[in-house]
């Protein structure tokens, strides 16, 4: 590619684009930065940074587009968008801070569950002295990628018995690993199930009635991947039937979660508003600029999404 400064378009319908614009504009690799929606001429734009679905027709306005990056770890908002041509490489954010924050969130949820923290908080309100006991827990991590792999290793360090599940069989010290052919066996161990899969046609609605019935009775679910993984009505039934003892949910089919959604009021569900691990602009910008340098030097981009796998 020619070595001129590169013009960028940022489309982020959820996050404030300001810190991204400020951070990127400090680099001498970067030319004009446009923020969608804009009336500007985008002919010179070569790079598109996106968080959440692109408006229809945006791609048609960028005839010289060379690279698209998600501004988060997930790329489901891009994989299902028919306007994106197959020849444009798509990358995502793989950032140690994102992995650290996700691990910390899941450990918080796991500990709150193991130590019955919500019951202790209730008991405090009624001045009740109830020495609720706790037991060691077996944790199943679905998805052993950048986030799930990091989490699984940290959980081993904390003394949990950890079971891991991925598409291809992994070998990770201290973790009993399973692949798709052994899903049932994996699930049978998971007293706490943590979902860190990407959304693909194979994983949409994977957290369903059948899967819940393969977990040990009274298992606890932590869904931090995507809402599209979960059949919400199946979860509610599994909680009401006591097949599951509770769930910590950070992601939902519809975000923000509508006030009418019954999950809000379910006594066994704890909800957070998609904050398990949020991209930090400063560290992500360093990764984006590294890839921008690679693009200008016609080198391979890092953290490219495999369109065939869909993640
Ligand atoms: N809530 C939040 O705040 C938040 C923040 C960041 C990310 N996320 C979510 O976390 C997800 C995971 O991120 P990541 O960076 O860890 O992804 P990743 O590095 O792409 O890892 C995905 C893992 O899932 C496995 N996998 C994919 N399809 C599978 C299938 N059909 N059956 C079994 N395993 C399968 C992969 O197996 P292989 O190893 O064999 O390829 C890999 O181990 C993201 O896609 C995003 O949705 C949520």
- Residues 65 and 145 placed together within one structural domain of the fold: no
- Residues 16 and 55 placed together within one structural domain of the fold: yes
* Residues of the chain above pLDDT 90, percent: 96
Q: Ligand 1, closest atom to CA 203? A: 31
pLDDT digits (tens, 9 = 90+) for 240-273: 999 999 999 999 999 999 999 999 999 999 999 9
- Residues 53 and 127 placed together within one structural domain of the fold: no
pLDDT digits (tens, 9 = 90+) for 121-168: 999 999 999 999 999 999 999 999 999 999 999 999 999 999 999 999
C-beta atoms surrounding 123 within 10 Å: 14
**Has 274 been annotated as catalytic?**
yes
pLDDT score, position 3:
73
Say if ligand 1 is within 6 A of residue 144 CB: yes
Say if ligand 1 is within 6 A of residue 202 CB: yes
Q: Which of 167, 179, 273 to mutate to test the pocket of ligand 1 (most atoms within 8 A of CB)?
A: 167
Q: For residue 55, what is the domain's CATH number?
A: 3.40.50.720
- Residues 71 and 205 placed together within one structural domain of the fold: no
Range of the domain at 19: 6-95+279-296
pLDDT score, position 13:
86
Look at the chain and report how many structural domains it folds into.
Answer: 2
pLDDT score, position 8:
98
pLDDT at 2 over 70: no
| 10 within a domain of the structure (yes/no) | yes
- Residues 78 and 102 placed together within one structural domain of the fold: no
Residue 58 CA to residue 12 CA, distance in Å, equals: 13
| 125 within a domain of the structure (yes/no) | yes
pLDDT at 236 over 70: yes
* Residue 188 parent element (H or E): helix 183-189
Residue 177 CA to residue 147 CA, distance in Å, equals: 16
pLDDT digits (tens, 9 = 90+) for 200-227: 999 999 999 999 999 999 999 999 999 9
| 216 within a domain of the structure (yes/no) | yes
Say if ligand 1 is within 6 A of residue 276 CB: yes
pTM of the full predicted structure?
Answer: 0.96
């Amino acid at each position: 590619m020619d070595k001129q400064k590169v013009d960028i378009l940022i489309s982020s319908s959820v996050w404030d684009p300001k810190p991204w614009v400020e951070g990127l504009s400090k680099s001498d690799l970067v030319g004009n930065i446009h923020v969608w929606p804009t009336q500007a001429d985008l002919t010179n734009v070569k790079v598109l940074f996106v968080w959440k679905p692109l408006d229809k027709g945006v791609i048609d306005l960028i005839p010289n587009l060379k690279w698209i990056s998600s501004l988060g770890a997930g790329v489901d908002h891009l994989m299902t968008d028919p306007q994106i041509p197959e020849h444009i490489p798509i990358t995502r954010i793989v950032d140690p801070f994102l992995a650290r924050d996700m691990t910390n969130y899941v450990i918080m949820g796991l500990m709150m569950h193991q130590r019955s923290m919500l019951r202790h908080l209730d008991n405090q309100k009624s001045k009740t002295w109830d020495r609720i006991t706790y037991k060691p827990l077996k944790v199943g991590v679905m998805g052993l990628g950048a986030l799930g792999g990091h989490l699984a290793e940290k959980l081993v360090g904390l003394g949990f018995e950890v079971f891991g599940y991925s598409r291809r069989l992994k070998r990770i010290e201290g973790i009993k690993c399973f692949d798709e052919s052994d899903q049932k066996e994996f699930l049978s161990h998971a007293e706490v199930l943590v979902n860190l899969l990407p959304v693909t046609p194979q994983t949409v609605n994977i957290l369903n009635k059948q899967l819940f019935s393969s977990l040990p009775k009274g298992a606890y679910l932590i869904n931090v991947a995507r809402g599209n993984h979960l059949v919400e009505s199946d979860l509610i039934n599994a909680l009401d039937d006591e097949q599951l003892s509770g769930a910590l949910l950070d992601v939902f089919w519809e975000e923000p979660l509508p006030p009418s959604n019954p999950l809000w009021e379910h006594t066994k569900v704890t909800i957070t508003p998609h904050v398990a691990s949020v991209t930090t602009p400063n560290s992500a910008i360093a990764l984006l600029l590294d890839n921008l340098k690679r693009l200008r030097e016609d080198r391979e981009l890092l953290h490219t999404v495999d369109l065939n796998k869909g993640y």
